[in-house]
Amino acid sequence: MSLTIKDYNSTNTPTWCPGCGNFALHASLKKALVELNISPSELFMSFDIGCNGNGADKINVYGFKGLHGRSIPLAVGAHLANRRFTVIADIGDGACFHEGIDHLIHAVKANYNITILIHNNQNFALTTGQATVSTQEEKPMYGLPKGRPERSLNVSKFILSLDPSFYARGTSTDPLQLSEIIKSGIENNGCSVIEVIQICPKYNKDFSPEWAIQNIKKTDSLENYNNLSLKNATEILDNSSIYTGIIYRNNTLKSFYERVHNRKDTLTELVDEVKIQDTAHLLKYFE
């Protein structure tokens, strides 16, 4: 029997605000999974803490919700243990670029074959809208009514500086394009970073659907845009318009397991090699 989106639906009531970009993101993800024919029992998702992480019980897959900023190492562990699973790390901008930024760097540099889905709503939403490093400079935020004093991080340029094997940017205002991006990210052999510019109607009111229509353009609309070219990718991130699509791919990079020599000829996964050890005899040393 063929898969449908209903196979991924859970019966839990969403806690997200009306109009939250998480609805669109989950719909795009489920559509992508159906079209790639990945069943709920073939997918592992790690979830973070935040509004994004509250999606953990809204999608019917194998999942684990860990500590704030730590969904990437959970995904890496799952991938290292069992490559039969498609692995996705779901994470917010706060978690990814503050608490867990070291894990992002590590995963991209190691080029584990996982997909990192960053919900970039430009704030710490679950804790009621504090500024993150991706919040626009000088923007008034919760606790900072006169504006944010720190400079922002250009997250796109930061990700590109890591020389990722795949970096794409989508938006929750275009779920069909986002679904295609997610499909390409999952199919990429390596660490795919997908940044989703996500509507947060409660704490980032400036980013409205109307604003998105005026300011967001697609790389597909550019003549001769080549996402294998670092030069093209760098130029596009300097543009005053925000472009969505696959920004950059480096398909010459080998994935982590392709570089681990001592596992090359092994047919089993690490999870198959787990042995049950009887440690009862050790207890006598503690008597």
Interface region with ligand TPP, contact rule CB under 6 A, candidates 6-14, 45-53, 74-82, 140-148: 45-53
Q: How far is the CB of 283 from Mg ion (least distance, A)?
A: 48
Q: How far is the CB of 266 from ligand TPP (least distance, A)?
A: 36
**Which residue, 53 or 190, is less far from ligand TPP as judged by CB?**
53
Q: How far is the CB of 141 from ligand TPP (least distance, A)?
A: 12
Question: Using CB distances below 5 to 8 A depending on partner kind, what does residue 245 bind out of ligand TPP, Mg ion, none?
Answer: none
**Tokens at 102, concatenated:** 């070291």
**Which residue, 172 or 255, is less far from Mg ion as judged by CB?**
172
**Tokens at 122, concatenated:** 């430009």
Interface region with ligand TPP, contact rule CB under 6 A, candidates 90-98, 173-181, 249-257, 265-273: 90-98
Answer for which of 21, 53, 73, 92 binds Mg ion (CB under 5 A) is 92
- For tokens 């609805």, name the residue: 23
Task: Give φ, ψ of 171 to 5 degrees.
Answer: -145, 145
The DSSP letter of residue 87 is E
Is 94 near ligand TPP (CB under 6 A)? yes
Instruction: Give the pairing of strands 62-65 and 115-120.
Output: unpaired
**Tokens at 257, concatenated:** 């397991």
Answer for which of 82, 127, 136, 189 binds ligand TPP (CB under 6 A) is 127
Contact residues for 267 (Cβ-Cβ < 8 A; gap 6+): none
**Tokens at 238, concatenated:** 């300097």
Task: Give φ, ψ of 184 to 5 degrees.
Answer: -65, -40
Grouping H, G, I as helix, E, B as strand and the rest as coil, residue 229 is coil
**Tokens at 213, concatenated:** 């229509």
Contact residues for 41 (Cβ-Cβ < 8 A; gap 6+): 62
Q: How far is the CB of 211 from ligand TPP (least distance, A)?
A: 18
Is 95 near ligand TPP (CB under 6 A)? yes
**Which residue, 128 or 251, is less far from ligand TPP as judged by CB?**
128
Contact between 209 and 199 (Cβ < 8 Å):
yes
**Which residue, 91 or 233, is less far from ligand TPP as judged by CB?**
91
Rg of the Cα atoms in the chain: 20
Is 195 near Mg ion (CB under 5 A)? no
| Alpha helices for 95-247 (secondary structure H) | 101-110, 155-161, 175-187, 209-215, 230-238
Is 124 near ligand TPP (CB under 6 A)? yes
**Which residue, 43 or 125, is less far from Mg ion as judged by CB?**
125
Is 54 near Mg ion (CB under 5 A)? no
| Closest-CA residue to 91 (of 43, 128, 125) | 125
Contact between 21 and 170 (Cβ < 8 Å):
no
Is 121 near Mg ion (CB under 5 A)? yes
Answer for which of 93, 174, 180, 195 binds Mg ion (CB under 5 A) is 93
Is 125 near ligand TPP (CB under 6 A)? yes
Is 194 near ligand TPP (CB under 6 A)? no
Q: How far is the CB of 170 from Mg ion (least distance, A)?
A: 16
**Interface residues toward ligand TPP, by CB under 6 A:** 48-52, 68, 92-95, 99, 119, 121, 123-127, 132
